[in-house]
Amino acid sequence: MELSHYIDHTLLKASAIPNEIVKLCNEAKKHNFYAVCVNSCYVSLAANELKNSDVKVASVVGFPLGANNLQAKVCEAEQCIIDGADEIDMVLNIGFLKAELHKQVQEEIAAVKKAIGSQTLKVILETCYLTDNEIQIACQIAKQAGADYVKTSTGFGTGGATENAVKIMVEEVGDSLKIKASGGIKDAATAKKYIEIGVNRIGTSSGIEIVTAAKNDKDEHTY
């Protein structure tokens, strides 16, 4: 599969304006990215821009802290689907996980999955705040709750994807869930490293640089 088709082309900064979302969508179409990932207020705009393309629309829910109450997350997710989202990237309740309130964490993920039906649910673990054991537990909870993916990071925490966290996630649930690496992935070498480890999707705001560098590298090695 082409490297571009692993990429969720992402724009989640608080200052993002509509024109930038339109630009993001045009770039995704041009470079054949798998999806765009936007905040929920821009789902309808992105869906309209991408309606005649193969590019999916992903929206974040409970972003970036994960500390919204359950009903707020469910309501936001439902509205995203109504507005045209194909995928939901929800932040799990990190505080609940660290307090070992595992039942509540699982119920929340399951409720969001139920609300979006057959659409794809990615659960953001925000691994920079978790121990290795907590990453393992979060993966198992997401699996039991019916999620489709586990994802490393929001990109707004104290750190992004790491090789250690990704390896734990792949080892823990890689045979049953897909894995998305995100946060701090800015070059083709890093993206390829994670794909080789077992990642199915890359979340990045540097997608154009990644695929351009990968193409140039490929051209240089074509004889």
Q: Which residues are catalytic?
A: 89, 151, 180
Residue 35's beta-bridge partner residues?
8, 56
CA 131 distance to own-chain centroid: 20
For 180, the 3-state DSSP assignment is strand
Per-residue DSSP letter, 92 = P
Burial (CB count <10 Å: 0-12, 13-18, 19+), residue 193: middle
Contacts of 70 (CB under 8 A, 6+ apart): 107, 108, 111
